[in-house]
Amino acid sequence: MSLDRKDTALLEHAFMHAPIGKALVGLDGRCMQVNRSLCELLGYSEQELQTYTFHTVTHPDDLDLDERNVQRLLDGHAGSYRIEKRYLTRSGDVVWAILSVSLVRSPEGAPLFFVSQIQDITERKQLEQVHQESERLFRLLAEHSADMIARHSPDNVCLYVSPSCERILGYAPEELIGVSAYEFIHPDDAKSLREESHLPSDGPDERLLVFRTRRKDGAYVWLETSCNVLRDETGAVRETISVLRDVTLQKRYIEENDRLRHHRERIEEDLQRSEDNYRRLVEDFPEAIVLAKGERWMYVNDAAARLLGASKEELLRRNAYDTVHPEFHDRIRLRIEQVEGRREPLESMEEKLVRMDGQIIDVEIVCIPAVYEKIEMRCLLIRNITEQKRTQDLIVHSEKLAVAGQFAAAIAHEIRNPLTAIKGFMQLLMRDMTTDKSRFFDVIFAEMNRIEMITNELLILAKPQLIKFTKKDVRFLMQQVVSFMDAQANMNNVLIQVDYGTGDLVASCDENQLKQVFINFIKNAIEAMPDGGIIKIQMRRSAGNVAEIRFIDQGVGIAEEELAKLGEPFFTTKESGTGLGLMVTKRIVQQHEGDVRFRSKLGEGTTVEMTLPIA
């Protein structure tokens, strides 16, 4: 059936204005007719394309595939073909397209020309490449993570698990892939975990779970798991990415150390906040990740920005050495030299970093050679171990306290008994002593009283007194202490100024012991100002039902290296001190579930910051 002019015009209009590229190509490969979309895609005019063959605009690597398919059409082995191929634009750029070609023949079957449709898929190809690069980088990070990283289907069948599973569970990755996680979970934990796994479409996508899992040797280990649920466009669960950490030792530690339970819970809360749930891409990795080239940071994730207390833009503008403590600069410089040209990751190392607010934190860094945006760089996995270091210090401090207590008890009893006898006989001798020699006995008794005071402190250290808690107004107790200490302050040309603040400051406390704490702090402040000065005491109620009390003096101050030792057994900055008073004071505050911190600079005075829970 022949077409009239109107139909022909409509077909030609549809051809020329089609949203995808179209071309009529002669048997010699030359473009007979092309539409506007194809011209825009390749950057050529219609006249220019009509002077070229399809060989001219085809990427050399795809030319053979195209020619073989054309030959199949000419040989009658196919009526059409469809392939993905690359085209070269006028500017030399490469564009990807889906090419659909059919051969038009005469009524007698002779080939006449080809009809080609070219659909631009460059953007889709670029997205696929980005996805592949992201997946590769995720795998690289997972393979070198100390934690076990796993991906599970909605029914909890393992799709992927990192090599660290062999260290944590004793299984090789291939032994876990394809197996349900419930086959290894302790029966007492399985029920609650199954309930957790049935999430509604509007439920939380991030969870933190703790449960027991069976190792290959039959023993159970506790795992702490950060889960991140990935959903499809309908809201249905597609898969779950989990980061699993062996916390068996932590569990045992909590059970065996009730005295440190409160501190441990705080550590776990900090750990939970600092270790955000893993996501599919590096940006959401819960630990700090930095990509560096030389001395510059080229990329940081959200966790790195949070760790250093800065925005990403601030970190990228800074030199890498700006965030590293000066004592580690030489090590970092050597590390950069070592990683150049390497393909294997370097052993982890501990360093100190400086946050934007000046706080120094301890970190563990793993350095992995990586390629980002076609540039060789260093991938740094940074883990905050500050709380871990603090916990170790607390354990050492507790051991020192135990040893000091045993030593104090033994020494105190050995001194106190003969001291009592000596003191009694000295009093008998004084009855027959002449007046001109009695002054020597005054000196002797003063020194003996000092020895007796020291033995009493030792006994308090060895056997603390029973605390009787009652509700008292802390401000009223402070008023009583200040009235009592005013006389000593005046004798030393010291003025005590108190800001009692507003609001209730009623605490459950032992009245006498808390007064002793206040007396010790004020007494230390007076002794720190031999030339006189002002002691400022500030009291206020802060958020969280906590009383904050500050003792600020204008004394000689304390050296930075000595601040950390305050409160240790027998450490003192005073010539006549024993190093026990402050230790007992800190113990009393801790027994009241409070805390004591010191800030000081030589020549600028000392600030004692004390916190106490309010009833």
Angle at Cα 572 formed by Cα 571 and Cα 574, nearest 5°?
160
**DSSP secondary structure, 497-530, as one string:** EEE--SS--EEEE-HHHHHHHHHHHHHHHHHT-T
121-176: pLDDT as tens digits: 888 888 777 767 766 666 656 565 678 888 888 888 998 888 888 888 999 989 99
Q: How would residue 1 be classed by pLDDT, with cut points 50, 70 and 90?
A: very low
CATH of domain 127-274: 3.30.450.20
Give per-residue pLDDT as tens, 25-51. Answer: 998 888 888 988 889 888 898 888 888
- pLDDT tens digits for 234-283? 778 888 888 888 888 888 777 777 666 665 577 667 655 544 444 456 67
For residue 589, the number of C-alpha atoms closer than 13 Å in the C-beta half-sphere is: 23
Structural class in CATH, domain 470-613: alpha beta
CA 196-197-202 angle, to 5 degrees, is 85
Task: Kindly give, in sequence order, each residue whose CB lies less than 8 Å from that of residue 333, ignoring residues fewer than 6 positions away.
Answer: none
What fold is seen in the domain 5-120? Beta-Lactamase (3.30.450)
In CATH terms, are 5-120 and 287-384 the same topology?
yes
pLDDT at position 277 is 44
Element (H, E) at 137: helix 122-143
CATH fold group of domain 287-384: Beta-Lactamase (3.30.450)
Residue type, 543: A
Q: What is the mean pLDDT of residues 518-547?
A: 90
pLDDT tens by residue, 540-579: 988 778 999 999 999 888 877 777 667 565 545 555 445 5
- pTM listed for this prediction: 0.34
- Cβ partners under 8 Å of residue 87, min gap 6: 41, 42, 57, 58, 59, 94, 95, 96, 97, 118
Domain boundaries, the chain: 5-120, 127-274, 287-384, 390-462, 470-613
Q: How far apart, in whole angstroms, are the C-alpha atoms of residue 590 and residue 583?
A: 11
CB 593 within 8 A of CB 613: yes
Other beta carbons less than 10 A from residue 559's beta carbon: 11
CA distance 434 to 439: 10
